[in-house]
Amino acid sequence: MEDKNIVDLYWERSENAIKQTDIKYGKLLFKLSFQLLSSREDAEECVNDTYVAAWEAMPEERPDRLCAFLCKIDRRISINKYRYMHRQKRGGADLIVEELTDCIPSGSDEITDKAENDRLSDTINGFLGDLSEEKRVVFVKRYFYSEPISEISSQMKISEGKIKTMLYRMRLSLLSLLEKEGLL
Amino acid sequence: MTRSDKAKYLFEKMELIDDAYIDEAASYRPRSGRILKKASVIIAFAAVLSLFILLGMGSLFFRDHSKKGLSDTAEKYYAAALFDQVSENHTPHNSEAELLSSVMSDGCSHLIWMSVESGKYYDVKINASQESRLLGLSAYGTPITESSENGSYRVWIKRQDGTVISPELKRSVGNIYYGTVFEYDPELALSDEFVKSLESILY
């Protein structure tokens, strides 16, 4: 079913909306949550919470891109879940966070959360916009979808070594950009 | 805030990534060009390999075919037929002495053949490259084992220096004459290549 039709179902308050969402995006959302939480039960719970959040968000919102809309909700819920679980065990997100410390200058000052949010968004999206499609997809798969390097390599038919090199260079470029913009 | 905290913050802020890029990554499929490029390399490799195999099989087939389809005996008969036809248009030398007086002193290369039946000799002048080619192919005939395969013609190549070599004899000092030709019993059947060369020279 087309995204537009699924959104229409949400707007009509049809329970079929959730069923169709699950058919089309359930697997993707589960994978995203599972990469962060490393737990099947928790991932399933996050996906269900995502459906509930989407149900509650519409009809006020009418997302143009349903996939990204759902993924962002799912990711946010999963990160919250991760925070909750974090004291008990290490999840897959730890590794991603470790990698992203490359983007953080060692002597930088505090991040102001509010005013610079938009600038951060512009900078990240500007950075991604300057990348080739292939590099951008690798970056988003790794740092938004939290996909393992081996899986990205397999999906994109690029060697793991090349993926690692690409990611390392992109992290350094992003660091350079964030420093230049005074965001971190 | 520590570096680790900032990294966590940045990780969370990845949700600021534009929806279009998130969709793009979710629906991304490697370009067919990459796959096609790999596939084309594999196909090209397979094609080259197939070509080599075909050429190899082809050469084996034709070699076998030449052996089976045009046996040593058939080659000999074919060579005899060639000589039969060509002899009709040549003035023969009625004896060995007559032949030698004609060909030995002119400083040219000659292809000489003799009809066993009539005892007459024939010759054609050949150039240096033809001489070289015939001599190069002379030692590669297969050995004759049956005396019945002696054939109806004898063949020699007379070189510019006056030495005479028969392509039907093994290459040995005793089989290389100087200033004369000798009757002989063939030791080698003429090779297919030699007969082809004969054909090109005689026609």
The whole model's pTM is what?
A: 0.51
A22-26: long-range contacts at Cβ-Cβ below 8 A with a sequence spacing of 24 or more? A22/A47, A22/A51, A25/A66, A25/A67, A25/A70, A25/A71
The angle that helices A149-156 and A160-181 make with each other, rounded to 10 degrees, is 110
Cβ–Cβ of B6/A141 closer than 8 Å? no
B13 interfaces chain A, CB cutoff of 8 Å: yes
Write the DSSP symbol of residue A182: T
CB–CB contact B22 A124 (8 Å): no
Identity of the amino acid at B16 = L
Name the residue among A32, A137, A51 with its Cα closest to residue A92: A32
Optimal mutation site among A32, A101, A181, interface B, most CBs of chain B within 10 A: A101
ipTM for the predicted complex comes to 0.80
More confident residue, A73 or B169: A73
Q: Quote the pLDDT of residue B194.
A: 85
Q: Tell me, what amino acid is at B123?
A: D
Closest partner residue to B9 (CB to CB) among A67, A111, A144 is A111
**Distance between CA atoms of residues A41 and A47, nearest Å:** 10
Does the structure show a pLDDT above 80 at A168? yes
Residue pLDDT, tens place only, A25-75:
999 999 999 988 888 999 999 999 999 999 999 877 889 899 999 999 999
**Residue B60 sits at the chain A interface (C-beta within 8 Å):** no
What is d(CA B52, CA A49) in angstroms, rounded to the nearest whole number? 62
